[in-house]
Amino acid sequence: MIKDFLPVDITETTLNVVLAHLLRRRELQALGEVVVHRQAKGVGKKPDVLLTVNGVKVIIEGKFVSSGVDSILEKQCIERIEDGLCEICIGVIYSKMQPATLTVTMKEVESMLLKSKFQALVSYVAQAEFEQLSLDYVQSPMPPGLKKMGWHEVDINQLADLVRASYTSVVSEDILGKAVESFASALQTAVEKLMTSSPLEVLAAKISTIMEIPEAPNEEPEKGE
């Protein structure tokens, strides 16, 4: 439970938690300031806001406006995706908020966010491909397999719509389907090479080793055979 009254200095953490709450009201499964463990390395990461849209993981990273913050958020979003924490990462720039009183309630923070406009950048997974280089691409290149949309000025409702639009973009890329096709093709090529380069007995032994199939025990023939 978050305490009702907060110090006059509203932190990014507070805004992230309230942002997650407002997105939940817009029928998005959002959690603010939760630790996510990267299973491969067991490293704990703490995205600002974590959402799940029909199984697709979305992270929102929020920071106050400052010099160079757009570049910082863009780099952070790329890292979140490359770390395997999400398929979509949205960088959000908050405007500075100056409460008129010495203390402020969570309801008042909600009201401030509802009236605010954010700058938002979307990065998401995509098929690696050669794209025509635009000036924006040259100045801020994206790694292969990632695309971006933004920066856009949005309010809270438009941010929720942006999350859904980003999900649609990822689904339309059909990353999983294409990855399965690529794996199947590579597997077929590997099998063909093995079959032409090794005797059948050697090939069977290699496959058994890879798949950890135990050897059949040597059984004595039954008497009378």
Report which of residues 114 and 137 the model is more confident about: 114
Task: Write the CB contacts of 93 (distance below 8 Å, at least 6 apart in sequence).
Answer: 62, 63, 64, 65, 69, 70, 73, 118, 119, 120
pLDDT exceeds 50 at position 205: yes
Does residue 195 surpass a pLDDT of 80? no
Would you say residue 127 has pLDDT above 80? no
Angle between helices 156-173 and 12-25 (to 10 degrees): 70
Q: Count of CB atoms within 10 A of residue 17's CB?
A: 20
For residue 182, pLDDT over 60 is answered with: no
Sequence ranges of the domains in the chain: 5-173, 178-210
Q: How would you write 2-28 as a 3-class SS string?
A: CCCEEECCCCHHHHHHHHHHHHHHCCC
Tens-digit pLDDT profile for residues 98-109? 776 667 888 889
Q: In whole numbers, what is the pLDDT of the chain averaged over residues?
A: 76
Instruction: Give the pLDDT confidence score for residue 41 in this predicted structure.
Output: 46
| Helix 12-25 and helix 106-115, axial crossing angle in degrees, nearest 10 | 70
Could you tell me if 32 and 49 are in contact, meaning their C-beta atoms sit under 8 angstroms apart?
A: yes
Q: What is the mean pLDDT of residues 200-222?
A: 61
| Residue indicated by tokens 């992230």 | 16
Mean pLDDT of 5-26: 84
| Residues 54-74, mean pLDDT to the nearest whole number | 93
36-52 mean pLDDT: 66
SS3 179: helix
Per DSSP bridges, beta strands 88-94 and 118-125 are antiparallel
pLDDT at residue 112 is higher than 70 = yes
Strand locations in the chain (E): 5-7, 29-32, 36-38, 43-45, 49-53, 56-64, 88-94, 103-105, 118-125, 146-154
Judged against a pLDDT cut of 70, whether residue 10 lies above it is answered with yes
State the Cα–Cα distance between residues 199 and 124, nearest whole angstrom: 46
Query: Which pair of tokens denotes residue 139?
Result: 């100045």
Instruction: Single out the residue of 74, 25, 81, 42 nearest to residue 58, CA to CA.
Output: 81
CA 191 to chain centroid: 34
Residue 87's nearest CA partner among 115, 41, 122, 49 is 122
